[in-house]
Amino acid sequence: MCGKEDGLEKDYTSLFVIFLGIFLYGIGSCFYYVFGLPYGDDNSSKEDGPMQFGVIWAARLLGPSIGYALGFAALRVYVDPSAEVDFDEDDPRWIGAWWLGFPIIAALLLCLAPLLFLFPQRLPSRDGGDTDAAKMAEGEGDGGAEEIGSAKEFAKETLRIYRRLLSSPIYVFNMGSLIFSFFGFIGFTQFLPKYLEFHYRQTASKAGGLSGVAKTAAAVIGCLVPSYFIGKYRVHARKLGFFCSLCELLTALAFVSFALMACPPMQVAGVGESEAEGRLELPECARGCGCGEGPGSVGEFHPICSGDGRDFFSPCVAGCANREGLFYSDCACIANSNSSFLPAEDGGRPTVTNPDRFEARDGQCPVDCKGPFITMLVILAVVAFLSAATKSPNTLIMIRVINPKDKTASVSFILVVRGSSTH
């Protein structure tokens, strides 16, 4: 409100803890790909391999769906559960309990991770099939393990492995396609919940929960269905490459359609823009409020909705002098309003009435954006399906066009190149 501005301090210790957690997560998640995918391929037949990869990737995608559901529930709780606040989830100041899922997931990992030690080096074949693991056990072909003694020998062998990988054109071009696809997806996936929240006027829990469920459900189907047909009809590598290219093209077209959908833009009342300095300026009616640090500064973004349906940058910009809970009165820049807010008796959303009790309330004015939001979720599901449909084919191409003993190195090399070029 007028003359009231809160200062912010950066907590570098908390930031360090978060970054450390992300660093450790990166180390742990690499083992899933580097050892998990080759382990599954080594212990499966050529016919069962595609479907097995489909199940592995589907299981990998089900985890985030559970995480989205957990996040949906956690974000409906205030960041400090013991604190009593006078605003709800619709208010921009609301911060959900983003940390709540970490101790829950950590406890589950401590219980389940030790079970990985129970897996044998090679799984027994159900019908004595011709698997790479069986060949390695018998020392056939190029799959036999080699003993490496000194660190110098290890370095030389590592260089030989990467030289073999880079000598395969199919492997190199497939790795390039994965990296460039990741370029397009990384920003989209990281900021999708916030994009939906602000672009389609949704709450944080709803944007994250619904988008996560729609995306994950479609992605699981996209992993399983193509994998089944690939294994059943033993699709050739060239056809797999064409299929992946077609899916990527359709995905790019779907991304273009996102730019054609939007809700009505937020029109901020009472704020002008200085052409000379390129910044927002206060209206005359709020000049004496001291909203920001400099003369004419609008201060922090804290939107409120007036009784006549106009959005204001903040209570200070609207010139509001009094506040009661979520509602404001005596607003100099909302004079002569034909309607005002009256709080709902049941604690729900307020109703707009004629009595001059409150002139504005916290949060943006409600906008009917249900249609575009549902359309966005449908297209998002299509994108997730197409993207997931390429996972098994890409994995097959990645580990079947090289020497069987280089499978682990091929996966780790792609992870290193992708991580260093896209983060």
Domain match, 278 and 164 both: no
Tokens 């590592």 appear where?
158
Q: What is the pLDDT along the chain (423 residues), one digit of tens a residue?
A: 555 545 556 778 888 888 888 888 778 777 777 877 888 777 777 777 788 888 888 888 887 778 777 887 888 888 888 888 877 777 777 888 888 888 998 899 889 888 888 888 777 766 555 666 666 666 654 545 556 667 888 888 889 988 999 998 888 988 888 888 888 777 787 788 888 888 887 877 788 778 888 888 899 999 999 999 988 888 888 888 899 999 989 998 988 888 888 787 777 775 655 444 445 667 777 776 767 554 445 667 788 888 877 888 888 888 888 888 778 888 888 865 444 444 434 334 444 444 445 678 887 787 778 888 889 999 999 999 999 999 889 888 888 888 888 888 888 888 787 777 665
Is residue 87 a contact partner of residue 94, using CB atoms and an 8 Å limit?
yes
Q: Is residue 246 part of a domain?
A: yes
Domain of 345, in residue numbers: 268-362
Q: b/e for 184-208, b at 16 or more Cβ within 10 A?
A: ebeeeeeebbebbbbbbbbbbbbbb
Is residue 258 a contact partner of residue 187, using CB atoms and an 8 Å limit?
no
Check residue 299 and give its pLDDT. Answer: 67
Q: Is residue 280 part of a domain?
A: yes
Q: Is residue 103 part of a domain?
A: yes
Hey, which residues does 135 pair with through a beta bridge?
Answer: none
Tokens of 174: 């497939």
Q: Is residue 281 part of a domain?
A: yes
Domain match, 45 and 175 both: yes
Check residue 222 and give its pLDDT. Answer: 93
* Domain end residue (candidates: 333, 362, 391): 362
Check residue 295 and give its pLDDT. Answer: 47
DSSP 242-290: HHHHHHHHHHHHHHHHHTT--PPPP-EET-EEETTTTEEE--GGGGGG-
Domain match, 380 and 354 both: no
Check residue 397 and give its pLDDT. Answer: 86
* Domain end residue (candidates: 362, 382, 408): 362
Q: Is residue 279 part of a domain?
A: yes
Tokens of 97: 């309990």
Is residue 53 a contact partner of residue 37, using CB atoms and an 8 Å limit?
yes
Question: What Cα–Cα distance (Å) separates residue 377 from each residue in 20, 31, 213, 265, 380?
Answer: 33, 32, 10, 19, 5
Domain match, 179 and 86 both: yes
From CA 230, how far away is CA 247, in angstroms rounded? 15
Q: Is residue 197 part of a domain?
A: yes
Is residue 173 a contact partner of residue 180, using CB atoms and an 8 Å limit?
no
Structurally, how many domains does the chain consist of?
2
* Domain end residue (candidates: 343, 362, 381): 362
Q: Is residue 107 part of a domain?
A: yes
Domain match, 104 and 250 both: yes
Domain match, 275 and 320 both: yes
Domain match, 85 and 213 both: yes
Say what the pTM is.
0.68
Domain match, 259 and 274 both: no
Domain match, 115 and 196 both: yes
Check residue 146 and give its pLDDT. Answer: 58
From CA 151, how far away is CA 326, in angstroms rounded? 67
Check residue 353 and give its pLDDT. Answer: 42
Domain match, 244 and 175 both: yes
Domain match, 186 and 92 both: yes
Domain match, 300 and 383 both: no
Q: Is residue 317 part of a domain?
A: yes
